[in-house]
Amino acid sequence: MLRQDGFDLVLLQEVWSEQDYSDLKGKLRGCYPFSHYFHSGVIGSGLCIFSRFPILDTLLYQYSLNGYPYMLQHGDWFCGKSVGLIVTKISGIIFNVYVTHLHAEYCREKDVYLPHRLVQAWELAQFIRHTLTAADVVLLGGDLNMHPGDVGIRLLRGWTGLRDAFAEAARFEGCEDGCTLIPNNCFTAKTELLPFPQGVRIDYILYKAISSVTVKCEELKTTTGTAPGMDIPFSDHEAVMATLHIQRQGQAVGDNLGTAEPMLVDVVTETRTEVVVGLRAAQRQRYSTGRMAVLALLLLLLQAVAALGALAGLVAGQPFPKLSFSLLAFLAIGVLLLATGLHLFHTMEVKMLQGTEEQMRMALRALQERPSDG
């Protein structure tokens, strides 16, 4: 499909295997002579970009929070969730192209990862704002794992001024409401989509114009059904394809960062509230794991005292239970190491959440003071 449709840019996520990327690169070289794979985490960010135009520069930012390493069944932490940036020039216009994949939701009713995903959305918005100064056009594509009305999407769009290609498209063709995760896809978990019979839209193409350029979305499409000649779809998510009309104007139109929106104060406040909830939970986890580590250390000290007492003959005539003593010691050491590791992890989590909360507090102060400056 990528060879036949002749896209200018292709943004992929979940390409976990670098061998898969190499295979794609070899097969697509004739159509997309330029590409970049973003290395991150233990198993890789899964992010890569294929381009028909030269890639002038690249940059990767790994989010400070990426879930929990002990949640092995989810594995987001091992990916090193990130945002990748390439800079390219098309017809004299500089493009900043961002690709990302935020932490998955897994359970909407009790979303323990919401604070982490909101931190990622905030860092993504900040990363875009602080790297777009030399660009004429900003494009962001990827699996954001958030519904269009979720606070994280509202924060990202409000803070950066990015426009949603689905909402702006002059023509649309594909799944109803632009959904990209749909129940009739054989790779999706049907139970997770029971509240959403039509599916959900969590994959996006967002864009904005900088300087003297205008951008309009002429058409947006999603894949539907199975791949041609096969009985399975291309992926567990439907692909999103946008046709953008970009034109240079005679005068600069401004960068339109979007932070002047009156509702942005409420969005940042709502996001900060969720981050504070996550901060309190992380502090409780830090306290619990720290207490467990202390108890394990005390148990080891008691065992050491008992062993010294036996060696000194204080319990002469009594057989020393070497096997049970050794098993208990190994258990205490294991608990001590595990609890200490978790305590350190949650300490770092607390610091990251505190840092983000402080950034949001400063941003709110600046937003609230802005009307008086005018």
Beta-strand pair 171-173/137-143: unpaired
Assigned fold of 9-254: Deoxyribonuclease I; Chain A (3.60.10)
For 226-272, how does the pLDDT look when each residue is reduced to its tens digit (9 = 90+)? 988 899 999 999 999 999 999 988 655 554 445 446 689 999 999 99
**Burial environment of residue 59 by CB neighbours within 10 A (0 to 12, 13 to 18, 19 or more):** middle
Kindly give, in sequence order, each residue whose CB lies less than 8 Å from that of residue 177, ignoring residues fewer than 6 positions away: 198, 199, 201
Residue 260: the pLDDT is: 45
Burial bucket for residue 161 (CB in 10 Å: 0-12, 13-18, 19+): buried
The pLDDT value recorded for residue 132 is: 94
Q: Residue 233's pLDDT is what?
A: 93
Mean pLDDT of 88-106: 95
pLDDT digits (tens, 9 = 90+) for 4-13: 888 999 999 9
Query: d(Cα 287, Cα 281) in Å, to the nearest integer?
Result: 10
pLDDT at 187 over 80: yes
* pLDDT, average across residues 81-99: 96
The pLDDT score that the predictor gives to residue 329 is: 82
Q: Is the pLDDT of residue 373 over 50?
A: no
The set of catalytic residues is: 237
Measured CA distances, 49 to 35, 66, 76, 285, 307 (Å): 5, 22, 20, 38, 61
pLDDT at 250: 61
What token pair was written down for 241?
A: 């394809």
Strands (E) in the chain, as ranges, are 9-12, 34-38, 47-51, 55-62, 82-90, 93-101, 137-143, 163-164, 171-173, 203-209, 213-222, 240-248
pLDDT surpassing 80 at residue 277: yes
Say yes or no to pLDDT of 374 above 50: no
Residue 290 scores a pLDDT above 80: yes
Task: Look at the pTM and tell me if it is higher than 0.95.
Answer: no
86 token code pair: 């390439």
3-state secondary structure of 143: strand
Sequence spans of domains, the chain = 9-254, 261-369
Q: What is the mean pLDDT of residues 106-111?
A: 89
**Whole-number pLDDT of residue 339:** 95
Q: Give the pLDDT band (50/70/90) at residue 302.
A: confident
Distance from C-alpha of 255 to C-alpha of 213, rounded to nearest angstrom? 10
Structure tokens at 79: 């990916």
Predicted pLDDT of residue 41: 85
